[in-house]
Amino acid sequence: MEHYELIRSSRKTLALEITRDGRLLVRAPMRAAKRDIDAFVSAHEAWITKHLAEQRQLPPEPSADEIRAMAERAKEIIPPKVAHWSEVTGLRPTGITITAARTRYGSCSGKNRLSFSCFLVNYPDAAIDLVVVHELCHIREKNHGPGFYALLSRYLPDHRERKRLLKSPRDTTKEGEELF
């Protein structure tokens, strides 16, 4: 049986988690018996083995210095793209923020402030442009309904192909989850 870290809490069910650094966490109710937890882990051994192997195949996480460098590059690359696409679309954000977000490439606040992940700089320009235009479109259309996609298609008819450029082994999103 794989070694695991046990985290007890007021939850009612058992759950498994593989961390970014390849550790196996088991989340358990406070009163769950150790033998029941071990049986749960043993019953999911195939799932654990598969996901640990996948996690170990990924390149190492960037260091804090590497993240700072990506953020600096993003500050040079993304604002000019936002300015360009703002001119093209007529959609103007109230501000731009560069973050180290890992689960979303971009977001648009209710006050039309755009945030972009510094990790975007690791993707081709066509993918960065997609995220910029996607977030600008949220200034007018706050959801992912038909109106949003009609607006996005007006400016980037190839947005579906561009979205494929954002897929990589490092993606932490689940199937079907929004990337931005």
| Kind of pairing between the strands at 24-29 and 15-18 | antiparallel
Ordered by start, the domain boundaries in the chain are 5-57, 64-164
pTM comes to 0.72
- Backbone angles phi and psi of 98, in degrees to 5: -105, 125
Which pLDDT tens digits describe the chain residue by residue (180 residues)? 789 999 999 999 999 999 888 899 999 999 999 999 999 999 999 999 999 998 888 878 899 999 999 999 999 999 999 999 999 999 999 999 999 998 899 999 999 999 999 999 999 999 999 999 999 999 999 999 999 999 999 999 999 999 999 975 444 443 444 566
Tokens of 18: 């593989």
In the prediction, which pLDDT does 179 show? 60
Q: For residue 29, list its beta bridge partners.
A: 9
CATH class of 64-164: alpha beta
CB 137 within 8 A of CB 151: yes
In the prediction, which pLDDT does 89 show? 98
**Which is nearest to 41 in space by CA: 2, 12, 71?**
2
User: Which three-class secondary structure state does DSSP give residue 118?
Assistant: helix
